[in-house]
């Protein structure tokens, strides 16, 4: 799901509607084979497992499915996960763009180090991230900040693991924006703020939305980094992934699958919405 978002999101800045209609050729034998392999691969890895999850979710019938997802504890976990992911993504939209800006536009001591550090949340096994967060913000915090067993812990864990997404999608696009364009706007009378708001930001929107989709999807799926710090308290700090895990442990595979299906639908909806926003901003005018 995530890789599909990157593909559709990144080059959209210079997507040409006129051309996309005529791109693509009728299938030759070789390209037919290529398509076949791609579909088989995609089916094995994505479509069949997803179908299986949905099938399992429906194994108890509609009422079983409905019961599973409307259980109070499940609803609370979905609400927590989705709203925290949205909140974190909004923070990332601002902070990620800002960090990308600093990395592209400013020259300062330690820039190369920061470049590498930004990727650490990518590279770190999430449970290690969880451990780091627990030792830093847990009951024995050297900073005196104890957020263990609170919703703030969930928020912080999400922030940590989703940091790189928008930075990394915005950075290359920002680096490619011509200085010329900003100078043209300046000589037409635009202030620095107007230049950013009317000229630069619209060029970044496709990258920002692509990064936002990745960030949201990662938030919804996060487990390792928060499981230690959040305490997994039902109704309070239990996220859906933890909820799914405990359903399986309690031998309610169909309940787990039902929650998974809901997450699937929500993620899909968010990605579609972001794609629509992105198309709107690109075509506007």
| Residues of the shown chain interacting with other proteins in the complex, contacts defined by CB under 8 A | 13-14, 16, 18, 178, 180-181, 183-191, 194, 198-199, 202-203, 281-282, 284-285
In the complex, the smallest distance separating the C-beta of residue 99 from other proteins, rounded to whole angstroms, is: 23
Distance CA 156, CA 260 (A): 23
For other proteins, the closer CB: 134 or 212? 212
For other proteins, the closer CB: 104 or 199? 199
For other proteins, the closer CB: 174 or 256? 174
In the complex, the smallest distance separating the C-beta of residue 10 from other proteins, rounded to whole angstroms, is: 15
If you search the block for the tokens 């639908």, which residue do you land on?
Answer: 265
Structure tokens at 102: 């600093």
Give the contacts of 196 (CB within 8 A, at least 6 positions apart).
none
Asked whether the beta carbons of 239 and 150 are under 8 A apart, the reply is: no
In the complex, the smallest distance separating the C-beta of residue 192 from other proteins, rounded to whole angstroms, is: 9
223 three-state secondary structure: coil
In the complex, the smallest distance separating the C-beta of residue 237 from other proteins, rounded to whole angstroms, is: 42
For other proteins, the closer CB: 20 or 28? 20
Structure tokens at 278: 């992105």
Distance CA 219, CA 84 (A): 8
Distance CA 268, CA 273 (A): 9
Distance CA 285, CA 280 (A): 10
In the complex, the smallest distance separating the C-beta of residue 95 from other proteins, rounded to whole angstroms, is: 23
Distance CA 273, CA 265 (A): 12
For other proteins, the closer CB: 78 or 282? 282
For other proteins, the closer CB: 60 or 182? 182
For 251, list phi and psi in degrees, rounded to 5: 70, 25
Distance CA 46, CA 24 (A): 24
Structure tokens at 74: 């499940």
In the complex, the smallest distance separating the C-beta of residue 15 from other proteins, rounded to whole angstroms, is: 9
Structure tokens at 273: 């919405």
Distance CA 52, CA 59 (A): 10
For other proteins, the closer CB: 174 or 244? 174
In the complex, the smallest distance separating the C-beta of residue 209 from other proteins, rounded to whole angstroms, is: 13
């Amino acid at each position: 799901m995530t890789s599909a978002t990157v593909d559709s999101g990144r080059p959209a800045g210079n997507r040409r509607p006129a051309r996309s209609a005529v791109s693509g050729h009728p299938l030759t034998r070789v390209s037919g084979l290529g398509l076949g392999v791609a579909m088989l691969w995609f089916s094995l890895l994505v479509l069949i497992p997803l179908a299986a999850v949905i099938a399992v979710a429906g194994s108890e019938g509609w009422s079983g499915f409905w019961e599973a997802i409307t259980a109070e504890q499940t609803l609370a976990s979905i609400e927590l996960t989705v709203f925290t992911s949205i909140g974190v993504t909004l923070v990332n939209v601002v902070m990620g763009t800002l960090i990308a800006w600093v990395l592209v536009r400013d020259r300062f001591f330690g820039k190369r180090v920061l470049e590498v550090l930004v990727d650490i949340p990518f590279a770190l096994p999430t449970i290690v991230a969880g451990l780091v967060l627990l030792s830093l913000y847990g009951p024995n915090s050297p900073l005196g900040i104890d957020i263990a067993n609170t919703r703030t812990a969930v928020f912080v864990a999400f922030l940590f693991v989703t940091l790189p997404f928008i930075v990394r999608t915005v950075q290359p696009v920002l680096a490619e924006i011509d200085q010329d364009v900003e100078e043209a706007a300046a000589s037409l009378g635009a202030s620095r703020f107007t230049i950013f708001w009317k000229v630069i930001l619209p060029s970044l929107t496709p990258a920002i939305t692509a990064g936002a989709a990745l960030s949201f999807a990662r938030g919804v799926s996060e487990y390792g980094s928060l499981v230690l710090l959040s305490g997994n308290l039902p109704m309070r700090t239990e996220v859906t992934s933890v909820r799914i895990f405990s359903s399986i442990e309690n031998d309610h595979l169909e309940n787990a699958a039902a929650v998974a299906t809901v997450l699937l639908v929500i993620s899909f909806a968010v990605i579609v919405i972001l794609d629509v926003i992105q198309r709107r901003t690109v075509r506007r005018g």
